[in-house]
Homo-oligomer: A and B are copies of this chain.
Amino acid sequence: MSEFPHFHDRRVLITGGLGFFGSNLAIRLVSLGAKVTLVDSLIPEYGGNFFNIEPVLNAVKVNISDVRDPHSLQYLVHDQDILFNLAGQTSHLDSMVDPNTDLEINCRAQLSILEACRKHNQNLRVVFASTRQLYGKPQYLPVDEHHRVQPVDVNGVNKLAGENYHALYYQVYGIPTCILRFTNTIGPRMRVKDARQTFVGIWLRNLLEGKPIEVWGGEQLRDILYIDDAVESLLLAGSHPNAVGRIFNVGRSDSISLLHLAEKLVKANAGGEIVVNEYPTERKKIDIGDYTTDSSLIESELGWSSIVTLDDAIARTLQYYRRNLAHYV
């Protein structure tokens, strides 16, 4: 882990601050001496969980509010140095069932956050967490930033608009934004209640509760990033001069099939059952096949690299939920 003297005494705002990415980032920022404010709506279907920030509860400010509320955001951004804009609706299936809520959170709220920056704090560094999901079905692997963008669900359309607003507010108003497109990420503090944030979440829960892991399909390849590596990329995106106005992929070029990943989890747990199911029709429509990430741009431009191996990622995540599962289900 890098030192990042940049963040010492800096005022940092994190939307989605009680969520998976937000809370891990907050814990790291506190250790770096930052003054951290977390914004979270605590919508039950999303990733926010007060237990996530238990290690830093007395070292951060928590502001419970919804990013769809433009007024609280206007107040909150005005005296900050860096905004990690991580709040989002992440469920692909929910976005198809209730597209309007996805639009409100992933488009309209993003626009009002950026409008708040434009009106009240144009020097605010903004890091926006996006997703590799908007590349859609890959045309080649590993996927780099030049790959054409073609969202395959409403969530992807809206996240792309959210990205475009961030790019635009840099181009037109000079607000120093940076966009990171994350691949599947796992680790402590992820949502494990269901598959809304990541399929690995519900796998882990089922494993620890003695239920079978349900694998849909199983042959699809995915790259799996560990949360500490994701946090490192966020810190670089919020501090490195080369990050301003840029879009970077964050992921791994090595991949694993879903079935093999499930087997690794069972092995790490020293036991567990796997059930392989046919891919259901409604999921098939929005499936993207295999995926691996070309992260060479962020490696060369910001000096980032993924360090934690998949085996370590699984071991650390499993250990965390063995101790803390009750707080997440």
Contacts and interface: CB of A to CB of B under 8 A. Distances in A.
Interface of A: 96, 99-100, 103, 107-108, 111-112, 115, 148-149, 151-154, 156-158, 160-161, 164-165, 168, 171-172, 285-286
Contact of A96 (B103, B153, B172): B172
A279 to B, nearest CB: 15
Number of chain copies forming the complex: 2
- The 5 A-B residue pairs with the shortest CB-CB distance, nearest first, are A157-B164, A161-B161, A172-B285, A99-B111, A157-B161
Given A100-B111, A107-B103, A111-B99, A152 B171 contact: yes
A153 B111 CA distance: 12
A50 to B, nearest CB: 31
A115 B103 contact: no
| A interface: dominant SS | helix
B152 A157 contact: no
A286 B151 CA distance: 25
Given A153-B172, A161-B107, A164-B157, A115 B99 contact: yes
B151 A157 contact: no
Nearest to A165: B157
A153 B161 CA distance: 11
Nearest to A163: B157
A152 to B, nearest CB: 7
Given A172-B286, A285-B172, A154 B100 contact: no
Contacts of A96: 172
Most buried by B among A96, A99, A108, A156: A99
Contacts of A103: 107-108, 111
Given A99-B165, A151-B164, A152-B171, 15 more contacts: A99-B111, A99-B115, A100-B112, A100-B115, A103-B107, A103-B111, A107-B107, A149-B149, A152-B168, A152-B172, A153-B172, A154-B165, A158-B161, A160-B161, A171-B285
Contacts of A153: 168, 172
Contacts of A285: 171-172
Contacts of A99: 111, 115, 165
16 contacts: A99-B111, A99-B165, A100-B108, A100-B112, A100-B115, A103-B107, A108-B108, A148-B148, A151-B168, A152-B171, A152-B172, A153-B168, A154-B165, A160-B161, A171-B285, A172-B285
A117 to B, nearest CB: 12
Contacts of A154: 111, 165, 168
